[in-house]
Structure 1
C-alpha cells in the first residue's frame, strides 16, 4: 500500500479557534479523511475529517466528526480520553526522535504523550507535563461532559493550536518547518460506548494499536 501523504499549508493569519470548518482560513487547508476502520470496530462508521495549517509559531488542527452514540466523561488532563468520542493526532517531527500523541475527546479534554525508542530497542513513553501542555489552546463544540450517551446523529468539532516550542522541548530545534516532511497519523475512536470503533487516516493493519509509527503517513509542510 502506498504511503499516505498530507500537506500542511502555511497561513499568515491564525484560525480563530471557533471550530468554523468553512471559514476562509480553514478552506485553504487540505482535508484528510479518517476512513479506514479496524475490523474490530462495530458497524458505526462516523464520518471524520481533519485539517491542518501552520503559522510561524505552531500547528493548527481542526476535526469535524459526523457521529452517533456519543459519550465523553474524561474531564482531567491525561485522562482516558480514548475511551470517549475522541479524535487524535500523532506526529513524529524528526526521524531520529520519538513521536507525540495528542488525543482529545469531544468535550475538549486531552492528553499529550511522547514516546521514543531507545538504542537498545526499548520503547519509553511519558506524559508531557501540564506546565508545557497548558500552552495548547483549544476549542470544542460539545459540553465538557456527555453522559448519558447521545445515540442520535450529531456533528461535533474540536480545534487546537500547538506551539512548535512544545515539540522542541523533546526533539530539539525544528528551525523553519517550511519544506520539511514529518510523519504522523490522524485517528478517530471511541472504546467505551455502545458502538466502539477505531478509525485511521493511514491504515494501521491487523494489530489494534494506534502506536505504530511505522504505519504513519508523511506530513509535508508547504514551502
Structure 2
C-alpha cells in the first residue's frame, strides 16, 4: 500500500471542510479492510494528508452509526469510543526507522498518543514505549465535529470529522532532525475502530493480517512525500 502526501502552500483552516480548496489537492485513502472479528457494521471511513515545512496535516471523514463519544481526557482509552487512528513511523535518511507514533482520536478530538519503540505486548502496555507529555502538543490544532460527549450511544447515522496537524518538531523531540522533503518515504497506517460500541469493528488502510492487532509495524504501508 502506498499513499502520497502532497505538499500544500497553505495550512487547512480547521473547519472540518472535507472539500475545502486546500484539501482538494490531497489524495483520498479508504479505510476499508475490516478484520474478520468485526461486526457486520462497516462504516465508510476516508482520510487525507498534506504537509509543508513544519507540519503534516490530517483529516478523517466517517459515515458512522452506533457512535460512542465518552472519553474526554488526554491519554484516555479513546479506542473504546468511535475512533480514528494514524500510526506513523518517521524515517531518517541517516538512521532509518526507529519507533512509531500512534495518534488515536475519538469524535470529540480527544487523543491517546504514545511513541512506541517495541510493540511487544506486556501487562504495562508495550515492551518499550513513552507516553507523550501533553506539553508536546502545544503546536497542534484539532477540529472535531462532534461538539460534546454523548451519555448514550447514538444509533442514527451521522457523518463526523476530525482534522488536525502534527508538528514535525513533535517527532524530532524523540528522533532528531527529520524534516521530510520531496521523495522522502515514511511508513504508517490509518485505522477506524469502535471497541466498546454495540457494533464493534476494526478497519485499516493497509491490511493487518489475521491478528487483531493494529500495532504491527511490519504491516504498515508506505507514506511517500511528493
Q: TM-score when scaled to structure 1?
A: 0.94
Could you say which residue in structure 2 is the equivalent of 1:209?
213
2:18 corresponds to 1:14: no
Residue 161 of structure 2 corresponds to residue 164 of structure 1: no
Aligned to 2:107: 106
Among 74, 77, 87, the alignment partner of 2:84 is 87
Whole-angstrom distance in 1 between the partners of 2:188 and 2:127:
17
Residue aligned with 1:52, SS = strand
Q: Give the C-alpha shift of residue 143 in structure 1.
A: 2.0
Where structure 1 has 5 or more consecutive residues not aligned to the other structure, the ranges are none
CA contact (8 A) 1:112 1:133 kept: no
Equivalent-residue separation in structure 1 for 2:153 and 2:118 (angstroms): 38
Could you tell me which residue of structure 2 aligns to residue 116 of structure 1?
Answer: 117
How many residue pairs are counted as aligned between the two chains?
216
Unaligned runs of 5+ in 2: 120-125
TM-score by length of 2: 0.93
Query: Could you tell me how far apart the structure 1 residues matched to 2:180 and 2:97 are?
Result: 18
Q: Paired residue for 1:153?
A: 157
Matched, 1:67 2:64: yes
Measure how far apart 1:175 and its partner are: 3.4
Q: State the Cα deviation string for residues 163-215 of structure 1 (Å, max 9, x = none).
A: 10000011110134321000000000001110000000001011111000000
Match of 1:175? Answer: 179
CA deviation vs aligned residue, 1:62-83 (integer Å, no higher than 9, x gap): 0000000001111000001000
Structure 2 counterpart of 1:58: 55
Which of 138, 145, 157 in structure 1 is aligned with 2:142?
138
Distance 2:215 2:118 in 1: 12
Counterpart pick for 1:34 among 31, 40, 51? 31
- Cα distance, 1:112 vs structure 2: 1.0
Q: Which runs of 4+ in 1 moved over 3 A?
A: none
